Amino acid sequence: MKSEEIKEQVVLYSKILDQKGLVNSLEGNISIYDRENDLLYVTPTSTRKEFLKPEDIAIMKGDDQVGGNKRRSSEYLLHKVALAARPDCNAVVHVHAPYMTAYAYCNKSIDIRCSTTFAILHDGIPCIPYGLPGSLDITNGLSEAIQGHDIVLLANHGLVCVAKTLEHACAVVEATEEVLKIYNLAKTMGVSNLSDEDLEAIKKAKR
């Protein structure tokens, strides 16, 4: 992908996430990693994603900002660590999506057994311990956790999702958030879980 195309993608998905209420001016950041040139294209800090323009997208070479007319996200280290641990992925979405983040606020992993979507997408979603936002501290335990899971919760904070493309990372975040929204309704009615056999068949069909 060319540089202009990458910036346009970051802008497009920032706006989509904003419209869906999954990011706001002060919460959430997304990125695409150009592995060939070792360049990270990340949203700028503290900006309303709806108003982003391609020239606002920060370009990071290591810890140096080499492009973009606004300061890089305060969480770019989170993106770097996640991408280093997952060479199969080129995109990161960090959001404070309410239904998933509720688990993070309770320092709880997510393991539900009532949803086919959840079974297709996840083998549970782990929660790593709290770390100071905007510091490397936040990434303690992330490399290990994200190797086996596309979404990892950050205790008392939010979540990070990795995927091959930004489109897929956003799709996984959106679908998982919807599942947990429904689960929150369903649990008041008495959820019916899928059997071990059904869950195994879903995992098998996925392979």
Nearer to ligand 13P, 74 or 117 (CB): 74
Nearer to ligand 13P, 48 or 203 (CB): 48
Could you tell me if 161 and 173 are in contact, meaning their C-beta atoms sit under 8 angstroms apart? yes
User: Which single residue is written with the structure tokens 């947990």?
Assistant: 180
Return the sign of the alpha-carbon dihedral for residues 11, 14, 18, 19: positive
Nearer to ligand 13P, 23 or 112 (CB): 23
Nearer to ligand 13P, 112 or 146 (CB): 146
Distance of closest approach, residue 134 Cβ to ligand 13P, in angstroms: 7
Nearer to ligand 13P, 57 or 145 (CB): 57
Distance of closest approach, residue 94 Cβ to ligand 13P, in angstroms: 6
Task: Count CB-CB contacts under 10 A for residue 70.
Answer: 17
Nearer to ligand 13P, 31 or 90 (CB): 31
Distance of closest approach, residue 27 Cβ to ligand 13P, in angstroms: 4
H or E segment and range at residue 39: strand 39-42
96: tokens are 């404070």
123: tokens are 């083998």
Distance of closest approach, residue 168 Cβ to ligand 13P, in angstroms: 21
Distance of closest approach, residue 114 Cβ to ligand 13P, in angstroms: 30
Distance CA 112, CA 101 (A): 15
Residues that bind ligand 13P (CB under 6 A): 26-29, 43, 45-46, 73-75, 133
Could you tell me if 73 and 44 are in contact, meaning their C-beta atoms sit under 8 angstroms apart? yes
Could you tell me if 134 and 119 are in contact, meaning their C-beta atoms sit under 8 angstroms apart? no
Distance of closest approach, residue 24 Cβ to ligand 13P, in angstroms: 9
What is the DSSP code string of 66-119?
EE-SSPBPTTHHHHHHHHHH-TT--EEEEE--HHHHHHHHTT--B---S-HHHH
